[in-house]
Chain A
Amino acid sequence: MLALSGFVQLILAFALAPMLLSIINRTKAAFAGRHGPPWLLPYHELWKLLHKGAVYSRTATAVFVAGPIVGLAATGLALSFIPVGGCPALVSFPGDFLLVAYLLGLARFLTVSAALDTGSSFEGMGASREVLFSTLAEPALLLSLITLAAASPGASLSAIYAGIDSAVLASGAGPALFLVMAALLVVLLSENARIPIDDPATHLELTMIHEVMVLDHGGPDLALIHYASSLKLWLFGALLVGVALPLRSGFFLLDLLGGIAGLALVAVIVGLVESVMARLRLVRVPQLLVAASVLSVVALVLVMR
């Protein structure tokens, strides 16, 4: 039964992750008074890209090709540790959240290396920004997860999230969990290159962070990158929803559907944020990320008290 739950979750994640992008775009369109793109556009884009050829720079090496592949593999693997709606994930062991953080780090390391491999000044600039901001986002993520581990009896992601229910939220640890939610939301926006940290819709290469690193990738490579980034959105969304909507009915399917509905809600919130505020000036981004770390430290102190 446990294994089945993990499998179903993982398959749904792989199938539905691009849908989150559609929800974000539809939300933004609704705010701008537009109809918005078709719901299945992200899938169509992936399909289209997979059927294209790729162009490689003469100066690029195998690192450039490895970037998207390792990026997708590592993100997909990390996803198998993530429980949605409190249902246990496919794999879990005590301390697995460290592995998840390192898998995401591995994906980033390869993406950055691939960007540097092109020798383009733009991509070098994007890589340096990405590394700086993710270095600052990582403590916030780890401290948030440690706080959750402290508030819950478990030590693996599945156990931690199974242990967080509405009772915990209503208990003394509740305020700390709200701080964790805020920190996780900032980490989600930062790691997924969303406004106010990055603007996924911009065409201005000098302002880009994440997008500029993948400018030289095309065709199937770009499809892998797009798909991996939608999986990443799902991953961080699930981490946030697990704390923000800890409704546990005890029925596996009901909890899973609740978790997925929560993910859709997260996508709507991301779309809302993008519709009502401007991007931060690049020099201000570290302040926001450090603030997220501070929030999670305070949360940890509150829980350990």
Chain B
Amino acid sequence: MSQNTSIAVHNGQAFATGDWGDLDVERFRSEVLNAVVKGGRISALFAQPRGDGAFRLMAAVAQDSQSMLRVLATSVESEYPSLAPLCPQAHWFEREIWEQHGVVPAGHPWLKPVRFPRRGGAGAVAVAPPPPAVCGLADFFRMSGAEVHEVAVGPVHAGIIEPGHFRFQCQGETVYHLEISLGYQHRGVEAALAGGPNRRTIHYIETLAGDTTIGHAIAHCRAIESLSHTRVPPRAQVIRGIALELERVANHVGDLGALAGDVGFLPTMSYCGRIRGDVLNMTALLCGNRFGRGLVRPGGVAFDLDDPAVTELARRARTVAKDAAVAVNLLWNSPSVMGRFERTGTLAADICRQIGLVGVPARACGIGHDVRQDFPFGIFRFAQIPVSTCDSGDVFGRAYVRWLEVQRSLAFIIDQLKALPPGAVLQPAGPLAPASSVITLAEGWRGEICHVAATDADGRLAWYKVVDPSFHNWFGLAMALRNQQISDFPLCNKSFNLSYCGHDL
């Protein structure tokens, strides 16, 4: 079935798996490259075994201006000409393809795995395994010279954070190159999701990245709902929107506090730590869990809001808005803090586009990309939140975009609570349509979350692909560190605040 065409779909629109098409490799490459040149962004690029020893290489390119996702596929065997030399966005994805299936993107400038899956265990890859399987054991870019030195940080860190290895090439205090090696948190979630949905599925999804429970759960549930043609009640859509924004506010406030802590500015650090707790407690009021576990379910939400809870939530939202304004505005009014934030870890908008950054780091470079605006889903089709951008591209930009989003999300929550639509909150999802695919995008607090699902002939999940925003953005952190002081790394790192387990899956 060699269809030499490609289609475009909406965010969350189910389509027959055959419609992925089957382009020639050359045609596939040129279409992807063309779409990217025209301002598209690779949301997902991955391979799946076809069953006959060959692989299907699939791409979803987000075209923001048209709110459409261009869907492309081709067949490859053990090798294909790499996209990365012409399209840097593809380089991390192609490393993943090589790692997962042993398909070599020929001409890739720096081919090494992005994580190190265990062979033969759960989630094992059946086909010819590519080289290294010991975590972190790989070639690192090296500089040489009399005054050059290498600093290795991690995977065990001084703080209570996730494991990741950072290799700095420095001359004195200046970082020339940073290479980030991840994969320590790899659990094989994608492989475990195949064959579902079952009772475990939603729990895997909710813990893809523990701090993005709502974001991932929404992306997943929209995929299931689309595949099963389930209509989500309006009340549930609003509650999902509120939960998503609460998650954003909690994390952004926490990050602003942590940024203050990294420069040793105690007032904002202390107050934001408390305010984050207040916001988490608002999510707990919604569903009994501070991180929103158990709230979003296929077909709607599992918990309704009664009138006293609505009033209480609105009251707390207003209090948080007031408290956060006091705590956060201290940052912008303290010269010592601004001296640290401004012109630290600057990324140019051009670099940002080339490497396909998403979420807060992209918006801090003035790129107005936001899934809630560009590919509206759920309640965001009816109630828009203005896109928050800043032009500076530095730590200040990333902090300030967070603050703008906190304010706008709180305003959105207060607004939505005023007119909660009546009705049920859950419409149980039926069986999934067989041989169908769907791509769902959602704007988690870190940025664009992309889930791609396909069902087999029996309506089970044949495969499930997750792209966490961290997958796009880790390389952005490495770029932001070039020619910076090594002592500013923790601050830059915090300003991105990426997920290790969301990346490693």
Contact = CB atoms under 8 A, between A and B. Distances in A.
Contacts of B149: 121, 124
Q: Report the contact-size class of chain B (Cβ under 8 Å from the partner).
A: 20 to 34
B151 A282 contact: no
Nearest to A132: B173
B264 A199 contact: yes
Contacts of B260: 278
A281 B266 contact: no
Interface in A165-223: 195-196, 199, 201-207
B264 A274 contact: yes
Given A277-B334, A284-B339, A206 B487 contact: yes
Contacts of B264: 195-196, 199, 201-202, 274, 278-279
B486 interface: yes
B87 interface: no
Contacts of A278: 260, 263-265, 334, 336-337, 339-340
Interface string A110-133: 000000000001101100000000
A275 B267 contact: yes
Interface string B470-505: 000000000000000111111100000000000000
B340 A281 contact: yes
B270 A125 contact: no
A199 B490 CA distance: 13
Interface in B236-278: 260, 262-267, 269-271, 274
B266 A282 contact: no
A199 B260 CA distance: 13
Contacts of B457: none
B336 A206 contact: no
Given A28-B266, A274-B266, A279-B264, A203 B158 contact: yes
Contacts of A206: 151, 153, 486-487, 489-490
A280 interface: yes
A282 B485 CA distance: 8
Which of A28, A34, A204 is most buried by chain B, counting CB atoms within 10 A of its CB?
A204
Contact of B485 (A121, A195, A283): A283
B490 A204 contact: yes
Contacts of A204: 158-159, 262, 490
A31 interface: yes
Nearest to B274: A33
A205 B337 contact: no
Contacts of B489: 206
A32 interface: yes
Nearest to B265: A278
Contact of A283 (B153, B173, B265, B271): B173
Contacts, number: 86
Which of B150, B152, B269, B490 is most buried by chain A, counting CB atoms within 10 A of its CB?
B490
Interface in A272-300: 274-284
B203 to A, nearest CB: 32
A15 B325 CA distance: 44
Contacts of B267: 31-32, 275-276
Contacts of B270: 31-34
A275 B260 CA distance: 11
A270 to B, nearest CB: 13
Nearest to B273: A32
A202 B260 CA distance: 12
Nearest to A215: B158
Contact of B153 (A28, A205, A281): A205
Contacts of B490: 204, 206-207
Given A121-B151, A277-B336, A282 B487 contact: yes
Q: Report the contact-size class of chain A (Cβ under 8 Å from the partner).
A: 20 to 34
Nearest to A208: B487
Contact of A281 (B152, B159, B265, B488): B488
A268 to B, nearest CB: 15
A34 to B, nearest CB: 7
A205 B42 CA distance: 36
Contact of A277 (B153, B265, B485, B488): B265
Nearest to A124: B149
Interface string B415-447: 000000000000000000000000000000000
Contacts of A125: 151, 173, 486
Contacts of A124: 149
A281 B339 contact: yes
B278 to A, nearest CB: 14
Contacts of A122: 151
Nearest to A204: B490
A157 B172 CA distance: 39
Nearest to B152: A121
Interface in B126-177: 149-153, 158-159, 173
Which of A32, A121, A196, A281 is most buried by chain B, counting CB atoms within 10 A of its CB?
A281
B151 to A, nearest CB: 5
Nearest to A281: B340
B63 to A, nearest CB: 40
Interface in A47-83: none
A276 to B, nearest CB: 7
Nearest to A196: B336
B348 to A, nearest CB: 21
B157 to A, nearest CB: 8
Nearest to B330: A276
Contacts of B266: 28, 31-32, 274-275
A210 to B, nearest CB: 13
B395 to A, nearest CB: 11
A133 B217 CA distance: 51
Contacts of A31: 266-267, 270
Which of B264, B265, B486, B489 is most buried by chain A, counting CB atoms within 10 A of its CB?
B264
Contacts of B158: 203-205
Given A28-B266, A204-B262, A281 B486 contact: no
Nearest to A271: B266
Contacts of A282: 173, 485, 487-488
A280 B339 contact: yes
Nearest to B337: A278
B491 to A, nearest CB: 8
A279 B486 contact: no
B478 to A, nearest CB: 15
A28 B489 CA distance: 26
Given A206-B151, A278-B334, A281-B487, 7 more contacts: A28-B266, A33-B274, A34-B270, A125-B151, A205-B153, A206-B490, A279-B340
Interface of A: 28, 31-34, 121-122, 124-125, 195-196, 199, 201-207, 274-284
14 contacts: A28-B266, A31-B267, A125-B486, A196-B264, A204-B159, A206-B486, A278-B260, A278-B263, A278-B337, A281-B340, A281-B344, A281-B487, A282-B173, A284-B339
